[in-house]
Amino acid sequence: MQHALNESIEIEVMRYRPEQDKAPFLQTWVVPCTEDMSVLQALQYIKDHLDPTLSFRWSCRQAICGSCGVMVDGIPKLSCKTFLRDYRGRIRVEALANFPIERDLVIVMDSFMEKLESVKPWIIPKEPRALEQGEYRQTPAQMEAYAQYSACINCLLCYAACPQVGLSPDFVGPAALALLHRYNSDSRDAGAGERMPVVGAESGAFHCTAVGYCSEVCPKGVDPASAVNQAKGASVREYFLGFLGKGGGK
């Protein structure tokens, strides 16, 4: 049960309607709020009561789907997990940085989807196994090696935070590299040899300048900066093993 309405807040929202606007602009609404009201709920209030043309993405409202990422006062946030009580008086909500804007707070994700596909974020098994042979078993330690990085929800907050994504749009980026590391660390997987060229490419892990802001804004504690650094180390190790004629990969 929500607390009773007790105050209001001014919300500046980035608008962009490509059929009529030459460039994005800010529009302000006054929204009544409660102590437990999220930024996503405020956007929904605007859409339901003040301007039905406002566009934004959302789905689960529980910080699971990753759909509702926006910039709140210049910081990448999940709007469902960000509360108005922390922003008294006035806030600004904008589309995630470093992405083209499709409409209002909705970004174009095509480039990220291509980068994600390039790292093959699925298990490439060491050998085919029929269903009757049973499941692939792992020890708790083997699962622990990748569990943290499997928590990524592809919310793209790390891409909005990453200065290198802003400077070099071809950079594979934190989330894709974190998932690359997640599958390379999985004892059931044999696809490292297919993924490591992405790490060593010009747009790969070594394009990262180790700012670490990606990990700071991650709502799931994935720590993509750590994954990127580990991918760099694996790439260097593979290079020297290859140089010594001992091969690399799993």
Mark whether 72 and 127 lie in a shared domain: no
Q: Copy the structure tokens of residue 210.
A: 């180790």
- Considering the chain, what percentage of its residues have pLDDT values greater than 70? 94
- Chain mean position to CA 169: 15
Asked if residues 78 and 69 have their Cβ atoms less than 8 Å apart, the reply is yes
Per-residue pLDDT of 43-65, as tens digits, reads: 999 999 999 999 999 999 999 99
Residue 35 falls inside a structural domain: yes
pLDDT surpassing 50 at residue 4: no
Q: Is the dihedral of CA 34, 40, 41, 44 positive or negative?
A: positive
Q: What is the pLDDT of residue 244?
A: 65
Domain boundary pick from 49, 74, 107: 107
CA distance 32 to 224: 37
Half-sphere exposure of 173 (CA within 13 A, CB side): 28
Domain boundary pick from 107, 138, 153: 107
Residue 248 falls inside a structural domain: no
Q: What is the pLDDT of residue 247?
A: 59
Task: Give the model's confidence band at 245: pLDDT under 50 very low, under 70 low, under 90 confident, else very high.
Answer: low
Running DSSP on this structure, what letter comes out for residue 7? E
pLDDT surpassing 80 at residue 182: yes
Which stretch of 126-130, 139-143, 163-167 has the lowest confidence by average pLDDT?
126-130
Mark whether 132 and 228 lie in a shared domain: yes
| Boundaries of domain holding 192 | 110-243
pLDDT surpassing 80 at residue 162: yes
